[in-house]
């Protein structure tokens, strides 16, 4: 586990740089590092669900009640009904243009990130949709001194910060590559742990002795 204050101290110490031009950028370094980890490792902690997204009768476009923190849409389901199949926008438009039958939607396309879905067929009655999605967890700051990454993957976080620090300091490629290798190894171990957390348990996969 590491805290926001400890991480800032460690970055400065490991980089051996107390120049104000560098220390003034440490918050940006941490922010970039956290986002790198979240983009590259599919963390269970960064998943949410939301309900009561309205679909108006006979309308193929859903525009209301979308959470503001959606980054990646993972699934869409008619409330208490079927899961929708993702398709591209052209498929949805062609399907609805050529279809005379209005019924429960079977397909969806995300038209505008976080604000619009298109569904096909257009529903014959007003319905609600449930969604599962990925979001960005709250980053470290003076007011948020720890988060899941700093508690459960402090090594990944520090190495990612050092990769960003090397880029800022414009260090030799060999030094930057050294930190990148350390980060990638730690990140890959985290990803393996995440896969085990989501897909195995001792009932389905007995413990090897």
Q: Does a structural domain hold residue 83? A: yes
pLDDT at 105 over 80: yes
What global pTM score does this model have? Answer: 0.83
Tell me: do 105 and 145 sit in the same domain: no
Q: Does a structural domain hold residue 202? A: no
Closest by CA to 110, choosing from 85, 144, 127, is 85
Tell me: do 143 and 185 sit in the same domain: yes
Tell me: do 105 and 160 sit in the same domain: no
Closest by CA to 101, choosing from 76, 77, 82, 123, is 123
Tell me: do 129 and 54 sit in the same domain: yes
Decide which of 94, 117, 134 is a domain's last residue. 134
Q: Does a structural domain hold residue 103? A: yes
**Residue 3 host element (H or E):** none
- Edge to edge, the sheet with strand 107-112 lists 61-62, 116-120, 107-112, 85-86
Tell me: do 130 and 50 sit in the same domain: yes
- Pairing, β 47-55 against β 127-134: antiparallel
HSE value, Cβ hemisphere, 13 Å, CA-based, for 153: 26
Question: What is the pLDDT, as a whole number, of residue 206?
Answer: 57
Mean pLDDT, the chain, whole residue set: 88
Q: How confident is the model at residue 62 (pLDDT cuts 50, 70, 90)?
A: confident
Contact 194, 47 (CB under 8 A): no
Closest by CA to 163, choosing from 32, 39, 40, is 32
Cα(31)–Cα(42) distance, rounded to whole angstroms?
17
Poorest-confidence range of 63-67, 80-84, 169-173? 63-67
List of residues 6+ apart from 109 with CB closer than 8 A: 86, 87, 88, 89, 91, 92, 117, 118
Q: Does a structural domain hold residue 127? A: yes
Question: What is the pLDDT, as a whole number, of residue 171?
Answer: 77
122-169, pLDDT tens digit by residue? 888 888 889 999 999 999 999 999 999 999 999 999 999 999 999 999
Q: Does a structural domain hold residue 206? A: no
Tell me: do 155 and 143 sit in the same domain: yes
Tell me: do 62 and 106 sit in the same domain: yes
Decide which of 134, 165, 185 is a domain's last residue. 134
Question: What is the pLDDT, as a whole number, of residue 146?
Answer: 98
Q: Which residue range(s) make up the domain with 181?
A: 4-43+139-197
Question: What is the pLDDT, as a whole number, of residue 151?
Answer: 97
Q: How far is CA 70 from the centre of its chain?
A: 8
**SS3 labels along 37-104:** HHHHCCCHHHEEEEEEEEECCCCCEECCCCCCCCCEEEEEEECCCCECEECCHHHHHHHHHHCCCCCC
Tell me: do 51 and 22 sit in the same domain: no
Cα(121)–Cα(144) distance, rounded to whole angstroms?
45
108-119, pLDDT tens digit by residue? 998 865 678 889
Six-digit token string for 63: 């525009």
Q: Does a structural domain hold residue 169? A: yes
User: What total number of domains does the chain contain?
Assistant: 2
Tell me: do 87 and 164 sit in the same domain: no
Contact 19, 165 (CB under 8 A): no
Decide which of 134, 153, 181 is a domain's last residue. 134
């Amino acid at each position: 586990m590491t805290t926001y204050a400890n991480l800032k101290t460690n970055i400065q110490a490991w980089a051996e740089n107390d120049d104000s031009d560098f220390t003034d950028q440490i918050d940006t370094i941490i922010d970039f590092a956290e986002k790198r980890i979240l983009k590259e490792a599919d963390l269970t902690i960064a998943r949410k669900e939301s309900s009561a997204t309205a679909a108006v009768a006979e309308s193929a476009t859903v525009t209301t009640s979308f959470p503001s923190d959606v980054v990646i849409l993972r699934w869409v389901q008619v409330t208490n009904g079927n899961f929708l199949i993702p398709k591209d926008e052209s498929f949805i438009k062609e399907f609805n243009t050529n279809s005379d039958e209005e019924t429960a939607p079977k397909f969806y396309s995300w038209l505008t990130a976080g604000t619009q879905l298109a569904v096909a067929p257009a529903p014959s009655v007003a319905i609600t949709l449930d969604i599962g999605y990925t979001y960005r967890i709250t980053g470290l700051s003076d007011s948020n001194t720890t988060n899941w990454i700093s508690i459960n993957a402090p090594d990944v976080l520090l190495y990612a910060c050092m990769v960003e620090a090397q880029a800022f300091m414009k260090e030799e490629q060999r030094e930057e590559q050294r930190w990148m290798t350390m980060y990638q190894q730690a990140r890959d171990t985290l990803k393996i742990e995440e896969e085990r957390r989501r897909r195995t348990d001792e009932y389905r996969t007995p413990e090897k002795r």
